[in-house]
Amino acid sequence: MVQQTARAIRDDIAQGRASASDVCRAFLERTQALNPTLNAFNHVAADRALARAKAIDAQRAAGASLGPLAGVPIALKDNMSVRGMRTTASSKILDTYVPVYDATVVQRLEAAGAVILGKTNCDEFAMGSSNENSAYGPVRNPWATDRTPGGSSGGSAAAVAARCVPVALGSDTGGSVRQPGSFCGVIGLKPTYGRVSRYGLLAFASSLDQIGPLGRTAADAALVLSVIAGADPCDATTAREPVPDFSAALTGDVKGVRIGVPRTFMADGVDPAVLRAVDDALATLNSAGATVVDVELPHAKYAIPVYYLVATAEASSNLARYDGVKYGHRADDAKTLREMYSRSRDEGFGPEVKRRIMLGTYVLSAGYYDAFYLKALQVRTLLRRDYEQAFEKVDVVAMPTAPTPAFRLGDKTDDPLQMYLADIFTVSAPLAGLPAISVPCGFADGLPIGLQLTGRFFDESMLLRIADAYERVTDWSRQSPAI
């Protein structure tokens, strides 16, 4: 049962071959058995999930029409608000926070019949690349438990890879859906900025944040994206762009598709095993009928400084709301208002979040704003133009998702800069606002490797189509960890 894709589960339930309650119990059992090892979930909502599953079974028994995700268990990164369900962003400052409303993605998932199994562990406020910045401890990679699952949506990726859920949602600001997808051997899709509502997502960097699906097949990612995508009156940054049927794009055919590869940008610092796997994947796509050509992204080498200026600036502003007054942790016994603010924040935020608030405040302050923040915005525009120019020649840009497979827990915790540098391939798509996907494309010493494809604005269909065609002629996505 737990090996099934979301699509198969949905069909089995709709056609009476399985009950939503049995499906829910099977995934809950698996989750409860593995979570002590993986630490992928901050919270498992067993009773609520079983009650929802029972309601789906009752709907079916009554002959009511079922939604496209009816009875499909799903896990949500713990930075998405679910009414009445503790939502912490893996931060001590929100340790006891219980939202009073549902995020738009939650409303849409539940209206489609999805069953929320629980909230997944992540880096605190989604800041990190290894899940080690969580107040609740790191997540372990199901392929090798001494390794990181990636971050910040590490719990969502690990839960999908370990078959605790068929699909999950993560959020991606600079790679947080794609890089854990790559490290855990599952599909991770970051939609175009504005494709999916951020209403009810705890904000990190608002010009970059985007919610996206993780799953084991492109078809499952397409299914979930179709449900969560689309304009939302509660989020003015959502686009009015029509939402296509993403599943219909999965034709299995890549004939005539043009793939661009930024060779110069990929020349340094990439693990040879990763490069080999990516090259093999491109050769496979080429044999399937796609053309592969070189492209240049001349400004991509500045993506890390640009990202860490823009993201920290926005974070420092977004996180100002956690002041111990309206919600979240409040320090005891403060003598003055000022002391209450500063002690609440000091006790509530972890070291990485504090580092970013300080960095972001610094780059926004008078005298530094022009030199750092404004300059970063200018280079951000140049980066977007690089992609626009590439898309005159090609349909997608391909590169590795990450320069290495999953690294060991503890390997980069003493050196935040090394941790930041490992985001080199994932930060440019969100800076440009473009959709990007990570697709499993091989292994090195038993650790998964991901191929990243970046597409034109609102062309998630192309990314899913290529990913799906690639899955049909390879079997990476059918491998499962021995855990």
At 231, list the tokens: 């304009």
Q: Is 57 or 209 the residue whose CB approaches ligand GLN more closely?
A: 209
Q: How far apart are CA 199 and CA 180, in angstroms?
A: 23
- Considering the complex, what minimum distance in angstroms separates the CB of residue 425 from ligand GLN? 11
Q: Are strands 115-120 and 73-77 parallel, antiparallel or unpaired?
A: parallel
247 is catalytic: no
User: Which of 19, 77, 171, 461 is an active site residue?
Assistant: 77
Q: How far apart are CA 206 and CA 200, in angstroms?
A: 12
Q: How many residues does the chain have?
A: 483
Q: Is 35 or 152 the residue whose CB approaches ligand GLN more closely?
A: 152
Residue nearest to ligand GLN (CB): 176
Q: Is 128 or 400 the residue whose CB approaches ligand GLN more closely?
A: 128
How many Cα atoms sit within 13 Å of 117 on the Cβ side?
A: 32
**Contact indicator for 250, 468 with CB cutoff of 8 Å:** yes
User: Which of 19, 21, 91, 176 is an active site residue?
Assistant: 176
- Considering the complex, what minimum distance in angstroms separates the CB of residue 171 from ligand GLN? 6
Q: Is 68 or 174 the residue whose CB approaches ligand GLN more closely?
A: 174
State the DSSP string of 200-256: TBPPS-TTT-EEEEEESSHHHHHHHHHHHBS-BTTBTTS-------GGGG--S--TT
- Considering the complex, what minimum distance in angstroms separates the CB of residue 197 from ligand GLN? 17
477 is catalytic: no
Helices (H) and strands (E) in the chain, counts: 15, 11
- Considering the complex, what minimum distance in angstroms separates the CB of residue 83 from ligand GLN? 24
Collect contacts of 58-64 with beta carbons under 8 A, ≥24 apart.
60/13, 60/14, 60/16, 60/20
Q: How far apart are CA 21 and CA 26, in angstroms?
A: 9
CA angle 237, 242, 244 (to 5 degrees): 125
Residue 402 sits at φ, ψ, to 5 deg, of: -140, 150
Q: Is 175 or 191 the residue whose CB approaches ligand GLN more closely?
A: 175
Residues engaged in binding ligand GLN (CB under 6 A): 126-129, 152, 172-176, 204, 311, 423
- Considering the complex, what minimum distance in angstroms separates the CB of residue 174 from ligand GLN? 3
- Considering the complex, what minimum distance in angstroms separates the CB of residue 393 from ligand GLN? 28
Secondary structure letter of residue 477 according to DSSP: G
176 is catalytic: yes
| CA–centroid distance for 453 within its chain | 15
Q: Is 72 or 159 the residue whose CB approaches ligand GLN more closely?
A: 159
User: Which of 152, 182, 226, 438 is an active site residue?
Assistant: 152
Which positions are annotated as active-site residues? 77, 152, 176
